[in-house]
C-alpha cells in the first residue's frame, strides 16, 4: 500500500535522507566484513529491505521540523538523522511483521526471509532448514534495525532535554506499536475475541503511533515548537494514521489491484480481522460471509464485497474514516497551528484517507 | 547453565540491580494497562523471563566499575542502571534464541512462548494458532527488551562522551552477538559449513562480546579508567567469554545433569555444532559419531562420550579452554590492572572455565 507523498518529500529532502541511510549501510557493511560472508550478505539484504518505501515517516518528521523551525533551521542535520531513524524502525517492523505472518513476499517480491529461503533451497537445504535459516535471518535483521533506529536517535547532537524528549517519543511509539501487533496476531490466531472495540484498538495502536503521531511530534520537538503544539500534532497523527489504516483495510478488499499493487483476495483469504470485518460479524450477513473468507477462500470476492456493502460494514468503515479526518482537520484549525503547516497537514489528511493506492 | 557468581554480586549490589529492574517493570506494567489485558500479560511474562538469572552481566559491570572508580564512586547509580540494561539485553537474546530454536522450555520450565502456547491451547486454539500466538509474543517481547536495554543506556545521567562511549560498546556487542547467532543457526540448519574455524568464530561472537567483553569495558568507561585498561578488559572478556562458551559446550555432553540442570542428551540430539563436534568431524570417529547424533539420537550418549574422548575432540576443547584462560590471566598481569580487579577477574576466569554447572 503506498501513499503519494511527493508533495511532502522534496527531492532535496529525499536525497538527504537517502544520504544518511547510505552512510549507515556503508558503516554496517564495513563492520560486517569482520564477521564473515553470511553476515555481510545479511546486511546487504537488510539494506535492500529498506529500499523502495515512500519515506512517509521521514517526510513527516521533516515536514513538521521545517514548518516549525526558525528560518535558519539550525538542527536540520539532526532532523534528517531523526527522519532516517524512523525509516529504520519502520523497516524493522515490516521485517518482524513478515516473520510473524510467515510471509516470504512483500510488495510482490521476495522479502529478506524469502531471499534467504530461496538461497537455502538452492544450496541444497531441505525446506524446513531453509525456512528456519530464513526466519532466523529476518528476526536478527529486525533486531538489528530496532537497535539501530534508537542508536541513531540517542546520538543526535542536540540539547539534552530535546534528546530525552525524542527518546520518550520513540519509546512510546515502539511500545504502542508492539501492543498493536500483539493484538493483530491475537485476532488472527483467535487468541483475541474479534469484537469491534478490540479491533479498533488494534487499528489505532499498530501503525498510527510510530508512522504518524511520533514522527510529527518529533519534528516539532526538534524545532523547539511549544509543547502544546507538539501534543496537538501527535493527536492529529493518531487520528489520521488510524484513518490511513482503515483506508488500507478497505483497499485490501475493494481496491484496484492495478493501483494498489496488492491482491484484493489476500486479506479475505487470510480472514484478516479489520474493523470492517468486525462490524460485519455483528450483522446478519456474517452467516454467509464467514463461509467465504479464511483459508481456501474467497471463492467469490465479488460476493464478499456485496455482503460487506449490504451489511453496512463498508459504510461503517467509511464513516469512521470521515469522522477521523474531520476531527483531525478540526485540530488543525486551532490558532497555534501555523498556516504553512496547516496546509501541508490538511493535504496529508486528504491523501491518507481518500487515496486509492 | 549457571555460573556461581555470588563472589561477584554482593547482596547489596544484587538488591540495587533488582531495584532498577523492578522499577522498570512497574513503569512498563503501568503503561501497558492502557493497551488491554493481553499486553499486560505479555509484560508480566517478560518480567518473569528476566527472573532467575545469576546477574552475571550486571555483576561484571559493577565489578569493573567498583574496582576502578575513585573512592566515592560518584556514578554508582548510573552503573547500576547500566548493569540492569545488560540484563535486559541478555533476556532479549534468550527470548529470540528460543524463538529461533523453536524452544518452548528454558531451565526446565515453560518459557514465555511456552506459557502463551499452553494458554492458547487451554483457550481452545488449535496447535498451529497457539504456536503462532506464542512465537509472535516472544518476538515482540524480545523486540521490546532490545529497545529497553538501549533506552536505559541512552538516558544515563553521565557526561556526553561517556554516554556515547557506552552506546558504542552496546552497539558493538549487539552487532557481534547477532553475527554469532546467525552463524549458530546457519550451522545448525546446514547453511554454514561446519569447519572448525567457522564454529570457533561463532563461539567467539555469540556470547562473549555482550556477556563479558562489553560489560567489563562498560564498567571501566563509566569509572573513567584509562582507555588502554578498558581495551584490555574487553580483550580479557572476549577470551574468558569464549572459554565460558566452550565449557558450556563440554558440559552440554559431559556435564552432570544434577549440577547443570540441563539434559546431556539435548545438545547431541540437536546435533549442535560445537567446536568439539567440529573437531570430531575431522577425525576417523566421525563415521560412527554422526550416526549417533541428530534427530532421534543419541541412542547411546555414553558411546558419544567415548568417541569424543577417543577422537581427541574433548582434549581439543579442553586445550582451547586452557589456552584461553592462560592468555586471559597473562593480560591481568599487566601493571595497569589494579590488584583488586586482578584478583576478582582471576577468580572469574577460573569459575568460567573450570565450573561444573
The tens digit of pLDDT for each residue in A262-308 reads: 777 777 777 789 999 999 999 999 999 998 887 766 678 899 999 99
According to the CATH classification, is domain B184-357 in 1.10.600.10? yes
Closest CA to B93 of B56, B139, B54, B29: B139
Question: In Å, how far is B342's CA from the nearest CA of chain A?
Answer: 30
Among A46, A127, A191, A199, the strongest candidate for a mutation testing the B interface, having the largest count of B CBs within 10 A, is: A191
Tens of pLDDT, residue by residue over A76-100, are 999 999 999 999 999 999 999 999 9
Binned at pLDDT 50, 70 and 90, residue A354 comes out as: confident
Q: What is the ipTM of this complex?
A: 0.95
Average pLDDT, chain B: 92
CB contact under 8 A, A189 and B164: no
Chain A contact set for B132 (CB, 8 A): 100, 102, 185, 188-189
Spatial contact of A327 and A285, defined as CB atoms under 8 Å apart: no
Spatial contact of A182 and B136, defined as CB atoms under 8 Å apart: yes
CB contact under 8 A, B164 and A155: yes
CB contact under 8 A, A140 and B181: yes
C-alpha cell at A13: 529532502
Residue B130 contacts A where some CB pair is shorter than 8 Å: yes
d(CA B157, CA B147): 18
Phi, psi angles (nearest 5°) of residue B29:
-60, -45
Closest CA to B345 of B47, B33, B64: B64
Q: What is the DSSP letter of B35?
A: G
N-term to C-term CA, chain A: 6
Q: B186: nearest CA in chain A?
A: A133
Question: In Å, how far is A264's CA from the nearest CA of chain B?
Answer: 24
Among B35, B192, B194, the strongest candidate for a mutation testing the A interface, having the largest count of A CBs within 10 A, is: B35
CA angle, residues A306, A310, A312, in degrees to nearest 5: 125
Where in chain B are the domains? 1-157, 184-357
- Region A10-33 average pLDDT: 95
Residue A189 contacts B where some CB pair is shorter than 8 Å: yes
Q: C-alpha dihedral over B220, B226, B231, B234, to 10 degrees? A: -10
Q: Which of A129, A155, A175 lies closest to B31 in CB terms? A: A175
Looking at residue A74, its pLDDT comes to 87
Q: Which of A92, A100, A189 lies closest to B129 in CB terms? A: A189
d(CA B4, CA B325): 17
CB contact under 8 A, B147 and A205: no
- Region B102-108 average pLDDT: 86
In order of A100, A145, A335, B251, B345, the CA distances from B355 in angstroms are: 39, 36, 69, 9, 15
C-alpha cell at B240: 574468558
Question: In Å, how far is B344's CA from the nearest CA of chain A?
Answer: 31
Alpha helices in A102-191 (DSSP H): 112-122, 127-154, 160-189
- Region A182-198 average pLDDT: 95
- Region B70-90 average pLDDT: 93
Tens of pLDDT, residue by residue over A248-263, are 999 999 988 777 767 7
d(CA A132, CA A125): 10
Q: Which residues pair with A106 in a beta bridge?
A: A109
CATH of B1-157, one of 1.10.10.10, 1.25.40.10, 3.40.50.720, 1.10.600.10: 1.10.600.10
Chain A contact set for B39 (CB, 8 A): 178-179, 182-183
Chain A and chain B share a number of CB contacts under 8 A equal to 164
CATH number for the segment(s) A163-357:
1.10.600.10
Q: A182: nearest CA in chain B?
A: B137
Stated as kind and residue range, the H or E segment containing B160 is helix B160-189
Question: In Å, how far is A128's CA from the nearest CA of chain B?
Answer: 9
Q: Which of B136, B142, B178 lies closest to A185 in CB terms? A: B136
Spatial contact of B157 and B59, defined as CB atoms under 8 Å apart: no
Among A141, A143, A214, the strongest candidate for a mutation testing the B interface, having the largest count of B CBs within 10 A, is: A143
Looking at the predicted structure, is the pLDDT value of residue B6 above 90? no
- Region B180-186 average pLDDT: 97
CB contact under 8 A, A191 and B38: yes
CB contact under 8 A, B100 and A201: no
d(CA A342, CA A67): 9
Q: B157: nearest CA in chain A?
A: A160
CB contact under 8 A, A179 and B150: no
Stated as kind and residue range, the H or E segment containing B109 is strand B109-110
Spatial contact of A356 and A248, defined as CB atoms under 8 Å apart: no
CB contact under 8 A, B35 and A205: yes
Residue A165 contacts B where some CB pair is shorter than 8 Å: no
**Sign (positive or negative) of CA dihedral A77, A82, A88, A90:** negative
CB contact under 8 A, B201 and A36: yes
d(CA A74, CA A15): 19
CB contact under 8 A, A100 and B183: no
Looking at residue B298, its pLDDT comes to 62
What is the CB neighbour count within 10 angstroms for residue B162? 17
d(CA B64, CA B66): 6
d(CA A250, CA A280): 13
Looking at the predicted structure, is the pLDDT value of residue B5 above 50? no
Chain A contact set for B136 (CB, 8 A): 100, 181-182, 185, 189
Spatial contact of A3 and A348, defined as CB atoms under 8 Å apart: no
CB contact under 8 A, A179 and B96: no
Residue A198 contacts B where some CB pair is shorter than 8 Å: yes
- Region A140-148 average pLDDT: 98
Looking at residue A297, its pLDDT comes to 63
Tens of pLDDT, residue by residue over A152-166, are 999 999 999 999 999
Looking at the predicted structure, is the pLDDT value of residue B161 above 60? yes
Tens of pLDDT, residue by residue over B117-160, are 999 999 999 999 999 999 999 999 999 999 999 999 999 999 99
Q: Which residues pair with B105 in a beta bridge?
A: B110
Alpha helices in A190-226 (DSSP H): 196-206, 208, 214-222
Helix-then-strand count for chain B, H and E: 18, 2
Phi, psi angles (nearest 5°) of residue B3:
-130, 135
Looking at residue B4, its pLDDT comes to 43
Residues 6+ apart with CB under 8 A from A138: A95, A96, A98, A99, A111, A112, A113, A116
Question: Using CB atoms within 10 A of its CB, is residue B357 exposed (0-12), middle (13-18) or buried (19+)?
Answer: middle
Amino acid at each position: 500500500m503506498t501513499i503519494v507523498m511527493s508533495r511532502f518529500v522534496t527531492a532535496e529532502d529525499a536525497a538527504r535522507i537517502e544520504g544518511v541511510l547510505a552512510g549507515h549501510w556503508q558503516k554496517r557493511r564495513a563492520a560486517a566484513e569482520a564477521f564473515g560472508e553470511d553476515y555481510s550478505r545479511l546486511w546487504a539484504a537488510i539494506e535492500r529491505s529498506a529500499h523502495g518505501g515512500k519515506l512517509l515517516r521521514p517526510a513527516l518528521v521533516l515536514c513538521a521540523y521545517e514548518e516549525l523551525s526558525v528560518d535558519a533551521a539550525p538542527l536540520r542535520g539532526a532532523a534528517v538523522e531523526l527522519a532516517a531513524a524512523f525509516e529504520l524502525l519502520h523497516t524493522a517492523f515490516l521485517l518482524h511483521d513478515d516473520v510473524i505472518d510467515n510471509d516470504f513476499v512483500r510488495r510482490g517480491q521476495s522479502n529478506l526471509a524469502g531471499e534467504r529461503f530461496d538461497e537455502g533451497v538452492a544450496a541444497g537445504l531441505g525446506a524446513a532448514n531453509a525456512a528456519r535459516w530464513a526466519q532466523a535471518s529476518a528476526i536478527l535483521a529486525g533486531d538489528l534495525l530496532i537497535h539501530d533506529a534508537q542508536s541513531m536517535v540517542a546520538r543526535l547532537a542536540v540539547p539534552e532535554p530535546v534528546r530525552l524528549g525524542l527518546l520518550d517519543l520513540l519509546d512510546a511509539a515502539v511500545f504502542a506499536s508492539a501492543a498493536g501487533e500483539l493484538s493483530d496476531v491475537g485476532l488472527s490466531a483467535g487468541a483475541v475475541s474479534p469484537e469491534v472495540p478490540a479491533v479498533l484498538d488494534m487499528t489505532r495502536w499498530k501503525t498510527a503511533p510510530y508512522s504518524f503521531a511520533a514522527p510529527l511530534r518529533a519534528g516539532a520537538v526538534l524545532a523547539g515548537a511549544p509543547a502544546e503544539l507538539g501534543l496537538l500534532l501527535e493527536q492529529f497523527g493518531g487520528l489520521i494514521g488510524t484513518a490511513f489504516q482503515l483506508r488500507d483495510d478497505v483497499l485490501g478488499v475493494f481496491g484496484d489491484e492495478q493501483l494498489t499493487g496488492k491482491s484484493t483476495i489476500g486479506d479475505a483469504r487470510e480472514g484478516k480481522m479489520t474493523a470492517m470485518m468486525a462490524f460485519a460479524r455483528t450483522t446478519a450477513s456474517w452467516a454467509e460471509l464467514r463461509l467465504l473468507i479464511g483459508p481456501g477462500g474467497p471463492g467469490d470476492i465479488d460476493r464478499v464485497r456485496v455482503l460487506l456493502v449490504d451489511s453496512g460494514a463498508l459504510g461503517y468503515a467509511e464513516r469512521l474514516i470521515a469522522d477521523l479526518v474531520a476531527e483531525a482537520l478540526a485540530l488543525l484549525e486551532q490558532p497555534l497551528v501555523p498556516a504553512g503547516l496547516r496546509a501541508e497537514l490538511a493535504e496529508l489528511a486528504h491523501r491518507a484517507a481518500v487515496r486509492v493506492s
